[in-house]
Amino acid sequence: MNYKDILKKINRKGCWNVIVVDGVVGVGKTTLMNMLVEELGYKAFLEPVVDNPILDKFYYDRERYSFSLQIFFLNNRFRMIKEAAKMNNAILDRSIYGDLIFAKMLMESGEMSKEEYGLYVDLFENMIEHCHAPKLMIYLETSVDEAIKKINKRGRDYEKIVERDYWQRLNNHYSEYFNSYNISPILKINVDNMDFQNNPQDKEYIFNLIYNKLKEIESNI
């Protein structure tokens, strides 16, 4: 089953007033989310990384921990999107909508069994039927080399041990997913050679793109 077929399960009756920032590991999702929170006054919902008891184990033994990690993320992201939807002004660093990217990649690489993936998809579809589309999906595009530079700079030991092929496959799956994504307005921004956290011109460029997209969305409501 491809991404588009699975995303058909989402509730199409209206949208939730939430913004999602997504992209590969290391692209700058959390940084941009925090900047938007400061500018827009939205409530932030962080990806469950810090208090995740499985994440570091996964990177050292992906075949053993892939299924349990994805179930952990899926459960937490479902809980978070329900809470975010009640607030009417939330922004999320990743979300349930793109959770299946990792599961599908891990199944295709043999690091998650087809049986486990089938269980995962069944649970995902059961949850996503209760979710409406986000107001806006922001996808931060980047090259693999740029992502790896940022991952190494961030310095998480369990990420630094991962081979380049894994990050390449992840980037490919992100591209495939967001080429299929059609459940809400989407803004794709290539952030290669950008430092929107420290460079005012880069920040202004990205914020103008986001503001203009939000104005476009509001005008169509």
Catalytic residues: 93
Euclidean distance between CA atoms 54 and 121, whole angstroms: 20
Q: At residue 202, what is the residue type?
A: D
Of 26, 31, 39, 23, nearest in space to 210 by CA: 39
Euclidean distance between CA atoms 72 and 75, whole angstroms: 5
CB neighbour list of residue 159: distance below 8 Å, 6 or more residues apart: 25, 26, 59, 151
Euclidean distance between CA atoms 126 and 112, whole angstroms: 20
First to last CA, the chain: 32
